[in-house]
């Protein structure tokens, strides 16, 4: 039986299992030092946003991919 880690609600996926919470926490923990380093060494807001965008979109992509693969497929198929 497949375990469901995330539940789709609109455009986002909410974690409903311990593994879903762990994956979400890991994504947040990964982005914290990235944002801290970028904002500490940045020269302007636009430079900071360009640098955070690269890491943020990659992290969001992998988080969404994992959430799609581990969510309830019956809800996704209409």
Q: Is the pLDDT of residue 13 over 60?
A: yes
* pLDDT for the residue numbered 16: 93
Q: pTM value?
A: 0.80
> In angstroms, rounded to a whole number, what is the distance separating the alpha carbons of residues 14 and 57?
18
CB proximity list for 42: less than 8 A, separation 6 or greater? 48, 51
**pLDDT, mean of residues 13-27:** 95
């Amino acid at each position: 039986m497949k375990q469901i880690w995330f539940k789709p609600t609109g455009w986002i996926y909410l974690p409903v299992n311990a593994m879903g919470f762990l994956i979400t926490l890991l994504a947040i923990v990964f982005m914290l030092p990235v944002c801290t380093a970028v904002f500490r060494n940045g020269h302007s807001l636009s430079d900071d946003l360009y640098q955070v965008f690269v890491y943020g979109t990659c992290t969001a992509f992998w988080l969404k991919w994992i959430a799609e693969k581990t969510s309830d497929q019956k809800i996704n198929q209409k």
